Structure 1
Amino acid sequence: MNSAERFYLPVDGILEMFSSLSGFTHHPVSNVSKAGMGIIKTVKGCWGRRDKTGGAHRSSSSGIPRGSADRLPRVPVQFGVTKPRNCRRIVVLGAPRVGKTNILRRFLGEEFEEHYEPTIEDFYRKLFYIGGEAYQVDLLDAARERDFPAKRRLSILTGDVFLLVFSLDDRESLNEVHKLQREVTAAKAKIHKPARAVKLLVCGNKADLDQRVVAGSEVGQILGEDVPFFETSAKDGTGLEAVFAALATLGGLPHETSPSRHQIISILTYQSLCVGRRGRRRRRLWRGAGAPCAAVDPVAQRPSFSSDLRLVLGSSTKAKKPEVCPVQ
């Protein structure tokens, strides 16, 4: 390999070369200089840190930029201020075209989007500052995972609270929710011995439509009378405040996480607020710092599947070591 080849290798090629060279530790490599090996090691270290912290900016199917673990390093926005006990993941499941994405847009403080685009997977993160404490709510809209059972099972196992959505003008979407309800319950039972009550609620969306084919009384008969059920409209906002309040209660979060009870601020203001409160840096705080507020993380990304799998396997072995992987 000549010097020109060394300098014009892409990063992935450098890492591949380094990996191949690292397997020959007992044989000196004469055609790679010590300086060149130092550069490769530095790149490998930086790339390893990138894999731990996350990746790059991508666009979700709903048009809102989201993070991705494929390319660029993720910019941290929390400074370690959110304690693990204040972090929750809400998993949203349901048939296509029932309004899941628009319900999430409402929670994030966005407007209703009339144009429909099929969602592959969206991951959102909303950061709250309430009563002097930071909270983090991750929202996973796993729409297309219905075609990938193992991937969907992993999403279910890592969820803390579940929002199942069907459309009041589509009876088949209610049947889909019934199947999902049983799947969530069965999956969670595998990692919690004895089984715990699943934190789950159901939305019958599109209550603004006149062509309703599902009555509220039928929902209790199919899903069970003890399942919290709300009729909602992502378009005009009907019932959404009650849903968000119920999600907060199920997740053990402050009621101020409901969109109507906090102010949306920029991510930079949120950073200044949290850093200033912790005394790490003397900066002028946002003048409304005492009021509940929240910011949407613009580069949020779903944790890697390997990280989620380690999390699931760790939680499943606390009580009893499983005979098989719970994702299977």
Structure 2
Amino acid sequence: MKVLGPEGLAGGEGLQLFGLLKLYLEQEPRFQPREKGLSLIEATPENDNTLCPRLRNAKVEDLRSLTNFFGSCTETFVLAVNILDRFLALMKVKPKHLSCIGVCCFLLAARIVEEECNIPSTHDVIRISQCKCTASDIKRMEKIISEKLHYELEATTALNFLHLYHTIVFCHTSERKEILSLDKLEAQLKACNCRLTFSKAKPSVLALCLLNLEVETLKSIEILEVLLLVKKHSKVNDSEFIYWRELVSKCLVEYSSPECCKPDLKKLVWIVSRRTAQNLHNSYYSVPELPTIPEGGCFDGSESEDSCEDMSSGEESLSTSPPSDQECAFFFSFKVAQTLCFPS
């Protein structure tokens, strides 16, 4: 086995890979959601007026459906989740605002990651997601999110570490890359992203856990040895690694079980009734405006846990009644795509 590190690779490849790893590890803390804010969400009981873990997880599943529908890449989904969690960990968000925030996170991530020709329009995303807001609401919310995150939207995520670790491992082994599928690893990462608890894990640790579990199933001693050296090089604490590895393993077992409903991976097809088609043009813009969102002081870590900035307002919540044919541009039938599965 080759020596792990820049000296183990020919030319400038080693310097580039390990220089990038050093950069990722330095940037990692800046782009992690505040643990105190995530803990507040985790501890919140379910009711009609507060953000609880179930609502956050459901919104991430909606993001996954949107990325699938618009053909966006995994990086767009992972970045959108990162932006969402960082924002939710800073602000007290009411459930009625969550739909608008989710759409904004998807659009902000798509503009960073996707080619210009692949970025969906704001109106298309509003229509497909059935978000009860207007384009002006989206623009205003995007500004709020960007300001609260200090315009640092392009983040270092677990997906970055996953790809980098994968490249480093196979630069130091004689095994073929095909035996460790990146598509499968990305699908497993998406499963973890759909659970709030994994937003507390360091991206470097989460990526290592996913690789470690997959390598163990392959029973490749050579790859496992290199991966352990990668773990040491990344200065990942043993107890922290073991803790998150157990949680990741449990999550993947649950999503891989026969009881987990697997989605149809065929391209989504929209079936629109004649009555709906006749009303599409008139109903396109017939959505209520999002209530004005007042802003207060930013969350200060020195204050009490209840001092998170509150995005609530005195307005009534948006209508939650089922949309009629006249109110919907399309029927949001891709809920089936929210159930996660892994490639074989």
TM-score between the two structures when normalised by the length of structure 1: 0.24
Larger proportion of helix: 2
- Larger RCO (CA under 8 A, 6+ residues apart): 2
TM-score between the two structures when normalised by the length of structure 2: 0.23
